[in-house]
Amino acid sequence: MSKHQLEHILQCHPIARTDISRGCNTDLFTRDGAKIVDFEAGTWAAALGHSHPRINSIIIGQIEKIMHTHYKLTSDMAEDLAINLVELLNWKDGKAIFLSSGSEAVELGMRLARLVSRGDKMLTFQSSYLSAYPSTSFPRQENAWVQVDHQQCNGCRKTECSSCSVLSELDFAGIAAFIFEPGNSGGRVLLQPNKLVKFLAREVKKQGGLIVANEVTTGLGRTGKWFGYNHYDLEPDIVTLGKALGNGYPISAVVIKKAVASSVESSNFVYAQSHQNDPLGCAIANEVIAIIKEKNLIKRTSEVGAFFLRQLNMLQQECPIIKEVRGRGLMIALELTISDVTENVFEKMLAKGYFIGTAPAANLLRFYPALTVSKKDILGVCKALKEVLGSHRVLTGKT
């Protein structure tokens, strides 16, 4: 498979292959020329596909000018990107700051919410993945977080969440912000009920808290709308972005409404780091937004995502091993009925030339392809899935 065995790379997670040498749109190629269709878009970040020619051109052109500056020296690219994002959010005005990772963006968004609202706790959904930092990752500190298990609300027929005995026990006093991740939940695609989201947002706002939309994964078209929160009756005060913003290049953003930004600036809040508002990342992100607009990829994602879901729902009728298919746009998960087989499925799909995501603890297969994925590749991955999932002998050891 590879002439290198990664003896000098710290092993923090399983590595399936070590011989990927190049990529083109949704295709990855090994050193010996074998093709693998990428249904994870890198780590959900290459939303326009790998090695996009226009993004490559922007990178080359900007590197020849300048790629990095001191945080006290900024560029027009940063201002242009801030304007682009504020306009996409349909805010009359607002401000933004650009960092390197989604985790950084969420962490800063939380700090700003605490600063402005002066609350000391955060509200979020129990299943939501927020960042890689200890302050937000699992398990969360009980004294710092109020967590809601939205899955117990699935199928609830109450018209008002305020009449729910479980939710009525929540104490919203002292909550700085509702950190809302719209449906990704660490790649499990757990879609929260609209009425529950609306109720929690309303109660937090009543107590002076803010709404922070964590759009690191769901932003810029992944769900078939510009932002994941667009599927809900919700208006955030702060939006955090990452992943697709740089099409794989590490740039993230915290976008803030004007009133919140004014409050932050009047408090003399100081935040400075090495790659803040770097021109290269901002130039790339501006081009990413331009391409999504020009190619009408938001509408395309909605349509192609619906096509993918239909194919998987038909597959479910033929494969009893599939328990549930769920998704929104090109953020799709397939839950299996049999435990301890997802890695087996992953390996067999990779052998057939398809790289898919897995969440073994949840018996889940995951599909977060580039927004440019073709229907041909979708039909191809579904055909391969049918062959693998239909082989009960291979998956369960039964003959």
Pick the closest to residue 239 from 231, 227, 249, 222 (CA basis): 227
User: Residue range 347-367: average pLDDT?
Assistant: 96
Quote the pLDDT of residue 4: 61
CATH class of 56-294: alpha beta
What would the pLDDT profile of 45-96 be if each residue is shown by its tens digit? 999 999 999 999 999 999 999 999 999 888 899 999 999 999 999 999 999 9
- Cα separation, 137 vs 161, whole angstroms: 27
Distance, in Å, from the CA atom of 83 to the CA atom of 92, rounded to the nearest integer, reads 10
Work out the percent of the chain whose per-residue pLDDT is above 90.
75
What confidence tens digit (pLDDT) does each residue in 125-170 have?
988 888 888 777 777 777 888 888 877 777 777 767 776 766 877 8
* Residue 201, φ and ψ in degrees, nearest 5: -65, -45
**Helix, strand, coil distribution of the chain in percent, nearest 5:** 40, 20, 45
* Rounded-to-integer distance, Cα 23 and Cα 50, Å: 5
Domain range list for the chain: 56-294, 296-396
Beta bridge partners of 37: 27, 354
| H runs (alpha helix) in 341-391 | 342-351, 375-389
* Superfamily of structural domain 296-396: Aspartate Aminotransferase, domain 1 (3.90.1150.10)
Residues in Cβ contact with 237 at an 8 Å cutoff, skipping those fewer than 6 apart: 113, 177, 210, 211, 212, 256, 257, 259, 260
More confident site: 292 or 126: 292
Whether the per-residue pLDDT at 185 is higher than 90: the answer is: no
Which pLDDT value is given to residue 394? 44
Question: Residue 359 and residue 344: Cα distance in Å, rounded?
Answer: 12
Q: Is 134 exposed, middle or buried (0-12, 13-18, 19+ CB in 10 A)?
A: exposed
Could you read off the pLDDT of 240-281 as tens digits, one per residue? Answer: 999 999 999 999 999 999 999 999 999 989 999 999 999 999
Residue 62 to residue 283: CA distance in whole angstroms = 7
